[in-house]
Amino acid sequence: ETVDEFEGTTTVEAAKAFIERAFGIGDVISEPDAAAARGRATVRHVTPYLFVTKEVIYSESTLLHGLEKADKARDIIAAMPYFLRATDEASAIDERRLRQLQRALEKEEAKARSRAAAETALKQRATNLLTEAHRIGLAKSPSLDAPEATLLAELKTIGETPLQANTYPDEGELGALNRRRREILAEVSALRRHLQATRTALREATGFQGAVLRQRDKLMLAEHLHLDGIAEVCPVCEAPSERGREAARALRTTLTKVRAESVAVERVRPRLVEHDRALEEEIGQLNIELRRIDDQIQTWLRQSEETRRLADLGQLRAHLLGRISFFLEASVDEPRQATRDLSVLRAEIAELEARVDKEAKEIKLRRAEARISQFASEAFVALPTVAPCIGSELDFSSRQPEVTVIEEESGAVLRLPDVGSDQNYLAIHIALSFALQRYFQTVNAPVPGLLVLDQISRPYFPTSGEDEDEAEISGDEEDEDVQAMRKHIDFLFSETARRKGLQVLLIEHAYFADDPRYVNATRERWTRASGQALIPLNWPARGDE
């Protein structure tokens, strides 16, 4: 259909929904609440697999179109398992909802902890007043686990109690408090020694890990020496000698030992970190109890001083009742934060966790990544590359996502920044794009069989800018760059011929006039001589231009 044959106008959302139905995206009926449907795959998430733009085609940091923008990358990565057929749309929405609820639960629990900390001071003052009231016989001993509202209610009851003579503070209580204080200090001292020992072990483990990693990096050079091929003769006099092989065996033994030590450190270090955190929490709890004991001791001493200062116990009680009355009046003005029942939130999280099968998804993702890596490696071999990528394999991961290069002979693992050549980056992006398309066709994913490539000649002719005219290539003596370009063109034609339903749209400055396939496949030539362009020159410009 042409543009003129489309019927009427529509909204952006309706047009997107129409395109998604045409592509086969989505297996969940759309909900009227747009916020409830967040997390579902949309037509916007297909574009990374269709467009290899100028920002991506030979980039060392951006693997797919759209990942260079942080606000888009998160949704693209979240929707990738759906297009890889590792999950369906309903599960993807459940996973997103589960992550949202887990974050909400973390925030609510943090608020609850903050509320508890804010209420501690008020609760502590109320407990101190009740303790004083207990010592002079106005109330029973306060419970440490009683909520704030209960303590305030007890204080209010005391404030309404008529004065009656009773006993003075018990001397035995001060001794018990001091004994408990000494016990807490001893426990804190022991825990601090354990904490210091744990942190010393952590520092030593970290330093040892760094030393092991440096040793391993140095010993990794031995993999490039082909130790299995050491001859039994001296390389100088050619006399029989086992020293070379003995040295090789020693190197291999050392490398194995260093690797084992590195694994041991990685296994032990998290346990030390967890033990360190547990010790800090235990010390914190003991410090809280110590402050409470100190407050009670100070209260006892202050009350004893007040008892001696006041003429009789009746005056002491009257003085305490006045303090309680003042405290209750002041506490009325303090804001109260309503506590939220988190049981419903936890129940919904548990229900979603039961519906989301993460293990099955991980298995399917690993299988998809393995097949895409195989397809990409097969394509990578057919494309022009330079060292260290000649004959190498590609390993694809959807988690980041990222691609690593595995060297052919040494098996060394290279990240994209280590590849170090625009020609290699171009080959990696082309191989990955065709591998993804091949996989999508295999699993019948809702991704159109279309690749739009923007100037594969960029690494070979970097001086050609956006305003440069078409560069015609025909039959002259060719340098390595032109020959590499021809390999890319041969790859495009061979892949489109091999993959039924795959279409490649190439936007290119270079024009191979001596290649009949290229000439016949060219649909538009936007040159200065033709006066034509991708965006027609006679189109009206916006008013702000």
**Greatest CA separation for the chain:** 119
Q: Looking at mean pLDDT, say which of 102-111, 395-404, 534-543 comes out highest.
A: 395-404
Domain definitions of the chain by residue range: 3-86+357-521, 168-296
Task: Write out the DSSP string of 435-484.
Answer: HHHHHHHHHT-S--SEEEEE-TTTTT-TT--TTPPPEEE-SS---HHHHH
Q: Is the pTM of this model over 0.95?
A: no
Token readout for 12 is 């952006």
* Predicted pLDDT at 33: 42
Is residue 309 over pLDDT 70? no
* CA–CA gap between residue 73 and residue 67 (Å, rounded): 4
- 122 — pLDDT class (breaks 50, 70, 90): confident
Is residue 523 over pLDDT 80? yes
Stronger pLDDT, 438 or 2, i.e. the higher one = 438
* Predicted pLDDT at 4: 65
- 495 — pLDDT class (breaks 50, 70, 90): very high
Fold equal for 3-86+357-521 and 168-296:
no
Stronger pLDDT, 369 or 32, i.e. the higher one = 369
- 208 — pLDDT class (breaks 50, 70, 90): low
* Predicted pLDDT at 534: 75
Write down the CATH number for the domain with range 168-296.
1.10.287
Coil, helix or strand for 99? helix
Coil, helix or strand for 277? helix
* Predicted pLDDT at 218: 58
Is residue 96 over pLDDT 80? no
Mean pLDDT calculated for residue range 337-352: 72
What is the Cβ-side half-sphere exposure of residue 251, based on CA atoms within 13 angstroms?
19
* CA–CA gap between residue 65 and residue 73 (Å, rounded): 9
Mean pLDDT calculated for residue range 246-253: 68
Stronger pLDDT, 192 or 346, i.e. the higher one = 192
* Predicted pLDDT at 176: 85
Residues 6+ apart with CB under 8 A from 130: 139, 141, 142, 151, 154, 155, 158
Under a CB-based contact definition with an 8 Å cutoff, are residues 153 and 159 in contact? no
Architecture of domain 3-86+357-521: 3-Layer(aba) Sandwich (3.40)
- 32 — pLDDT class (breaks 50, 70, 90): very low
* CA–CA gap between residue 517 and residue 489 (Å, rounded): 9
Token readout for 87 is 């999950």
* CA–CA gap between residue 397 and residue 105 (Å, rounded): 30
Is residue 432 over pLDDT 90? yes
Is residue 499 over pLDDT 50? yes
